[in-house]
Amino acid sequence: MGKFFITTPVYYVNDVPHLGHAYTTIAADTLSRYRRLLGDEVFFLTGTDEHGSKILQAARQKNISPQKLADEMTARFKNLWEKLSISYSDFIRTTDQKHIKVVQNVFSRLHEKGDIYKGKYSGWYCVPCESFWLESQLKDKKFCPECKRETVKLEEDSYFFSLSKYQKPLLDYYNENPDFVLPSTRKNEVVEFVKRGLRDISVTRLNLEWGIPCPVDEQHSIYVWVDALINYISALGYSLEEERFFTFWPADVHLVGKDILKFHAIIWPALLMAIGIKLPGMVFAHGWWMIKGEKMSKSRKNVVEPEWIIDRFGSDYLRYFLLREVPFGEDGNFSPALFVKRVNSDLANDLGNLLNRTLTLVVKHFQAKVPRPGKINAQDDELKGKIDSLPDNLQNFMDRLSFSQAFDSIWEVVRGANLYLDRCAPWRLVKKGETERMGSVLYNVLEIIRILTVVLFPFIPRGAEKMWKQLGMEDILSEQKLKDAVKWGKLPFALEVKKPEPVFPRIKEEDFYEVERET
């Protein structure tokens, strides 16, 4: 048994969780569940980022304290993760005292080492992005190049991190570890950015009301991005109680959106080099979900709220669509038509129908008992053969976070089982009196469904649980291990199955628009 440590970013609490937050977290949860299926000891970290001037500003607009705003928004995130069946190991908040202590410890260590020094900052600051920019980087000399909002001129004392010192070590590390940043297109962007030259970065703000106090100068607060990045080691107890840190660090995968890649692929590894601990195995930057080619934005009124979709259609449909529709790492377009077509075709028609018609025949002709298999023929061997390559194919794709390709390999089995059922036609066998052969066919399909249920549990856990119960399985699905689960013949004959009920009911596009009208 190995260890596996995966993280999402800590999500900023200035507003409610959106589809992008859900996308990252669903992907992390799926990978976590898959690694548990392999038998690994998994630590899955997520949480909320709660400091900074943007939080203070948002709280003032609501006439509440920043802590109250953070509490309210954190509750929204936790509620959504529960609805999405997110199986995190720890939920960190950057207002946690343990986290604050670790951030201050790291800052002090870097200051003592000389990698943090005091200077004067003069430049342009974007409050919504919590980012500093050079005038040459601004759009039309005053607007943030990321969010296009107006920046403000700042000139103040600041503490700086010697990022420029780590330009060559970073480039060497990228070269020696080609999979450190993925997809490769993102890695190329990072490398080119670093090659153009790194400047030392400001890591404190002067007289900021809502931030972690700087341990070496009480007039300063630690810059929110430095604070946020350190969550990945503070959650493990770095510099405090370090047993968990030594067990799980380095992280195997940091999952991030492409808009925050530079923080994770440049600043974060440089900070880790500076404090002398190992770098993560991988930083994977996924793309954005867009509407009609535009990034979702509340100001454009084109935001898809995940909670509304879940309340209407269930969490599995959203989980499946987001991971199936677009290769992970690329941008995707969200539309009700695509959503409905995908879940109806794959989940309702292919998978749900396979389960429903097989169980219906078992209930009707075998008193709801799993029939005993008889002699095996070439068709049976062909069906069983589809399982042989499935574990290796899954591992190959999941190691590269190729969720859509993992689904391709699973659906090759689903469609193969449907084709087998059609060709063997047990409903005709019963008319011919070939009960033994009919029993073999149904056993084989039920065994395929049992294996598929285990394999699909990381992706669509609630639907998989329903399938497992309809099969009559008494073992705990979440405790199954892939190596044992794919062994043929583990479905006990004479096991009593349940009367089938739709696990993945078809939906209509107009139902989706009813949700839109409600919003």
Q: Are 223 and 203 in contact (CB under 8 A)?
A: yes
Average pLDDT over residues 435-460: 97
Least confident of 38-47, 122-131, 479-488, 498-507: 122-131
Cα gap 454→399, rounded to integer Å: 18
- Full DSSP string of 25-69: HHHHHHHHHHHHHHT-EEEEEEEEE--SHHHHHHHHHHTS-HHHH
Q: Is the pLDDT of residue 69 over 70?
A: yes
Dihedral sign, Cα of residue 33, residue 38, residue 39, residue 40: negative
Write down the pLDDT at residue 300. 63
468, 477 contact by CB (below 8 A): yes
Q: Please state, in angstroms and as integers, the Cα–Cα distance from residue 393 to each residue in 256, 311, 399, 409, 464, following that order.
A: 25, 33, 10, 7, 20
Secondary structure (3-state) at 181: strand
Contacts of 137 (CB under 8 A, 6+ apart): 145
pLDDT for 28 equals 98
Is-contact 313 344, C-beta < 8 A? no
Q: How does residue 14 score in pLDDT terms, banded at 50, 70 and 90?
A: confident
Select from 205, 122, 125, 107 the least CA-distant residue to 161: 107
Report pLDDT digits (tens) over 384-415.
Answer: 999 999 999 999 999 999 999 999 999 999 99
Q: For position 297, what pLDDT does the model report?
A: 64
Give the per-residue pLDDT at 518. 45
Name which residue leads in pLDDT, 179 or 125: 179
* Mean pLDDT, residues 374-382: 91
- Dihedral sign, Cα of residue 170, residue 174, residue 177, residue 181: positive
pLDDT in tens, 289-313: 988 777 766 556 667 789 999 999 9
What's the whole-number average pLDDT of the chain?
Answer: 93
| CA 10/CA 99 separation, integer angstroms | 12
Question: What's the half-sphere exposure (Cβ side, CA atoms, 13 Å) at 512?
Answer: 18
Average pLDDT, integer, range 210-219: 95
Sequence-ordered alpha helix ranges (H) in 263-377: 268-275, 306-313, 315-324, 336-342, 353-365
What is the percent of the chain where pLDDT is above 90? 82
User: Once rounded to an integer, what is the mean pLDDT over residues 481-489?
Assistant: 95
Answer yes or no: is pLDDT of 224 > 60: yes
* Chain segment 24-66, per-residue pLDDT in tens: 999 999 999 999 999 999 999 999 999 998 899 889 999 999 9
The confidence score (pLDDT) of residue 227 equals 96
Q: What is the set of domains in the chain, with CATH numbers?
A: 336-485 (1.10.730.10)
Per the listing, tokens 């070590």 go with: 169
Give the pLDDT mean for 341-350.
Answer: 97
**Mean of pLDDT values over 468-493:** 96
Q: Averaged over 121-147, what is the pLDDT?
A: 78
Token pair of 99, please? 């986290």
Cα 510 to chain center, whole Å? Answer: 29
Share of the chain above pLDDT 70, in %: 97
Q: What is the mean pLDDT of residues 452-468?
A: 98
Long-range contact set of residues 446-450: C-beta below 8 Å, sequence gap at least 24: 446/358, 446/362, 446/370, 446/471, 446/491, 446/497, 447/488, 447/489, 447/490, 447/491, 448/383, 448/386, 448/387, 448/413, 448/417, 449/354, 449/355, 449/358, 449/417, 450/485, 450/490, 450/491
Please state which of the ranges 119-128, 165-174, 194-203, 332-341 shows the lowest mean pLDDT. 119-128
Query: What are the pLDDT digits (tens) for 358-367?
Result: 999 999 999 9
> What is the C-alpha to C-alpha distance for residues 198 and 119, in angstroms, rounded to an integer?
17
3 state SS of 297: coil
Whether residue 445 is predicted with pLDDT greater than 90 in this model: the reply is yes
515 pLDDT band, cuts 50/70/90, is: very low
CA distance 191 to 266: 9
481: left (phi over 0), alpha (psi -120 to 50) or beta: beta
Residue type, 355: L
**Does 516 score more than 60 pLDDT?**
no
Instruction: Return the pLDDT at 362.
Output: 97
Instruction: Give 379: exposed, middle or buried? Use CB within 10 Å, 0-12, 13-18, 19+.
Output: middle
pLDDT of 519 reads 44
Residue that wins the pLDDT comparison between 128 and 87: 87
